[in-house]
Amino acid sequence: MVTLGDAVAVLEGWYPPVTAESWDRVGLVVGDRRRPVTKVLCTVDVTWPVVEQAIATGADLVVAHHPLLLRGTHQVTADEPKGAMVLRLAEHRIGLWAGHTNADIASGGVGEALAHAIGLQDLSPMEERPSPGLDNLVTFVPPDRLDELVAALTAAGAGRVGSYDSCHFVAPGTGAFRPLEGAHPYVGTVGQLEHVEEVRLEMVLPRARRRTVIAALLAAHPYETPAWHVVETAAEPADTGLGRVGTLPAELALAAFGQQVADALPATSGGVRIGGDPDRPVRRVAVLAGAGDSLLDRARALGVDCYVTSDLRHHPAGEFLEWSHLDPARPALVDISHWAAEWTWLPVLATRLAEHFGPAVGVQVSEIVTDPWTGRFDHRVG
């Protein structure tokens, strides 16, 4: 049986909450980690239609990109939309987990999914965000208590490496100690030097889980005062970060590339817009799923031909393009739907979950369009 706790552990192994921006609110929002999960529904946003779809399809867990409770709240009531949705999910025992900026930057995350969807190759982050280094916990335990201790440390968050858990290293050895007056030794006699058979146990853990894991060690270890130490490892190589930069297999005119992007994304009322000379050649491209004003200068510094992103405001986009006559190498712009850009992650996520859990868990991508715009009207002449 797969539990909600199991599913959350897998998701947070792929998209660690510690890598989210400080203002973000990611992770488990609603649910009992002990409840079974047999069906997962993936969505960009949690809306009323999505909640009702989760109920109708028998989902036990909704995985969303955008946090439902991003801003602080001190009440959950049926008098306002977010509270009502939380209560509705809880009533039907449906869990809710959100992966936002932690999913944006991850390998196998949102930025990478968008880049692949529009045909880019040879990807690297626009702005590197190296994963924080792990802690390596070392302790020593009698062999007959090893499995019990490993289970406790695993439950506390240690021993996860990518898609694997319970990862640990064990080596046999001999421990020595002399219990002093007032001690209550698990093995040995007060005042006598003892030599006992022990094993050295090593497990990695996210640095943010150090306090929790050490508390679990002290609670589960049979010794009154166990010996342990932590080694901080170096940050991992940066294949994580905001956005992605890549190349097209062949050069395209900006207008043709804009059409390729539109064909790759789900249809929305806003469609796809381009900024720049439609005949400009495009080969090297930067993408950022979500609002991209903040990385306009970064796109220029990277020397790309085009920057694909969402929610570009009039003045930042206009001022950026005004420089093109003085700086012909300045990137062209492609503005796409925020929802459509981030939707590209959902099939990737669904495939990963299905491959990991197999037939024990069904996974569905919601077809509900949660883009807020429902229509567009072009000027009619005459």
Three-state DSSP class for 46? coil
Residue 120 exposed, middle or buried by CB count within 10 Å (0-12, 13-18, 19+): buried
Q: Is 65 annotated as a binding residue?
A: yes
**Cα-based distances in Å from 71 to 67, 74, 177, 342:** 9, 10, 52, 20
Cα–Cα distance measured from residue 245 to residue 260, given in angstroms and rounded to the nearest whole number: 17
Q: Which residues, in sequence order, are bridge partners of residue 171?
A: 200
Q: Is 104 annotated as a binding residue?
A: yes
Q: Is 342 annotated as a binding residue?
A: yes
Q: Which residues, in sequence order, are bridge partners of residue 77?
A: none
**Cβ burial 151-166 (10 Å sphere, 16+ → b, else e):** ebbbbbbbbbeeeebe
Q: Is 66 annotated as a binding residue?
A: yes
Residues in the chain: 382
Q: Is 277 annotated as a binding residue?
A: no
**Cα-based distances in Å from 50 to 45, 130, 328:** 8, 34, 45
User: What is the radius of gyration, based on Cα positions, of the chain?
Assistant: 26
**Cα-based distances in Å from 11 to 134, 141, 332, 366:** 18, 31, 36, 18
> What residues are designated binding site for a divalent metal cation?
65-66, 104, 338, 342
Binding residues: 65-66, 104, 338, 342
